[in-house]
Amino acid sequence: MLPDSYQAVLSRKAEIMKAAVGMDFAQFESGSIAFDYEGMLAATGYSLQDVIEIQKGFSVGNTPLLELRNLTELARKLAPPGKGARIFIKDEAANPSGSFKVRRAATSVYHARKQGYPGVVTATSGNYGAAVASCCAMAGLRCIVIQECFDSRRTGQPEIIEKARKCEALGAEVVQLSVGPELFYTFLRTLEETGYFNASLYTAYGTLGIETLGYEIAMQFRERLGRDPDAVVCTNAGGGNLTGTARGLIKAGCQAQVIAASVNLKGLHMASDTSFNRKSFTTGHTGFGMPFSTWPDRSDVPRSAARPLRYMDRYVTVNQGEVFYMTEVLASLEGLEKGPAGNTSLAAAFALAQEMDRDQCLVVQETEYTGAGKHLNAQLSFARRNGIEVRFGDPEEEVPGQSIILPEHPRQIRAREVDLDHMRRSLIRNALASVDHPPTEADLEFLAQETRTDKKFVMEAL
């Protein structure tokens, strides 16, 4: 029997991951910073058309494209003359598990069944777990969801508890843990003990699954409006959502601007026991969006397929109170009640539309289901119980972990620009810290691709 101490299990992580993903990441490595990113994606053996057919088999995809006419009119009332782009959303809540993440899950679960794995394991706060559980139920595979759920006082956020309910309802075994390093340890031990497939968010199978979302946006826009959208706004956390969507747009020949949006949680550490319940968003926030953008390989596989800085044109942030406010506006003006993650990019899109011309169009590329624990009232009540001030006022005064300030007027909703060049330099520094020698010529070319710049920018950053 193999030793099961924390250090012993972590020392075996490369072997465990190789067995659980069925992919030898070493074949794409150069021994330095650079690795064969496109080769890793191609090694799955699945084309875009293959993935479309796989997802059809799980009743996933081809979700509606909805125009938010009332929200557009409100934006135009607040915008300068001639401004106010048309706002659309891709209604991913129409998928079987209620979110876009089932596109990732369908591809991963299909591959797991094809390769003969008896079950699937995923570590997630919930939406992806529900997606994997849904697909496993259809495929006849067992499913284990490992969920970081509680602080040390055994208190769990209502949104995470709701997601656990969803996972269990779809037949998954849910292992709930407190915040901290035990998540990855338990995840590795479970993979090793069960021999199940690792349906990580960050494998090539997951990213290929999201490509269909970007591809559908382009094709549906052309069919309906005879043109491409001008901008697509993606809620950004671990980066797979934006990466896959952008790659799908590219494969459709669509040159829409790709804009990342995250909730500003500056100052809150995601792995901190004291900070865990002082945030009101479990995903789509800067606590994931910033570090995963500037060093993608911090994920649970040796090389992440989610590499958002390769694809994003802009990165903006919105505040917690603005997202809650926009959630209510969407329900009141459009009759659509959706969960918080998609409403992050919707809040950004509402502000961005006011910058754009009236004849332009932008798309919020996903929505998600809502439920009792994901509802804004449950989230705000939980925040109050944790001593967080909740009030109407100026969102600029909001301090993450201390206050949630709902706008007094929709004109106060803003999309705050993030310095992408600063993030690009951070990625280059993080990459250099991973090796003990000067970067090679291949490394410089790779870093230029990673940061969507050129070798001159990389050299100046060095």
Q: Over the stretch 146-185, which tens digit does the pLDDT of each residue have? A: 998 888 888 988 998 999 999 999 999 999 998 877 888 9
Comparing CA positions, the residue from 136, 97, 101 lying closest to residue 119 is: 136
Helix H or strand E encompassing 426: helix 420-433
Question: Quick one: pLDDT at residue 382?
Answer: 94
Domains and CATH numbers, the chain: 58-96+207-417 (3.40.50.1100), 420-461 (no CATH)
Torsion over CA: 290, 293, 297, 300 (sign): positive
- The pTM assigned to this predicted structure is 0.96
Q: Report pLDDT digits (tens) over 222-261.
A: 999 999 999 999 999 999 999 999 999 999 999 999 999 9
Which own/partner pairs from 265-270 qualify as long-range (CB within 8 Å, at least 24 positions apart)? 265/320, 265/400, 265/401, 266/400, 267/399, 267/400, 267/401, 268/400, 268/401
C-alpha distance across the termini of the chain, in Å: 47
Query: How would residue 277 be classed by pLDDT, with cut points 50, 70 and 90?
Result: confident
Is 122 in a helix, a strand, or coil? strand
Do 146 and 223 form a contact (C-beta atoms < 8 A)? no
> How would you write 52-81 as a 3-class SS string?
HHHHHHCCCCCCCEEECHHHHHHHHHHCCC
Average pLDDT, the chain: 95
231 forms beta bridges with 257, 362
* Residue 189: pLDDT over 90: yes
Percent of the chain with pLDDT over 70: 100
Which own/partner pairs from 268-274 qualify as long-range (CB within 8 Å, at least 24 positions apart)? 268/400, 268/401, 271/179, 271/180, 271/181, 272/179, 273/151, 273/152, 273/178, 273/179, 273/180, 274/151
Is 314 in a helix, a strand, or coil? strand
315 forms beta bridges with 260
Check residue 119 and report its DSSP letter.
Answer: E
Is 423 in a helix, a strand, or coil? helix
Question: Quick one: pLDDT at residue 180?
Answer: 79
- 272-293: buried (b, 16+ CB within 10 Å) or exposed (e) per residue? eeebbbbbbbbbbbbbbbbebb
**What is the rounded distance in angstroms from the CA atom of residue 330 to the CA atom of residue 200?**
32
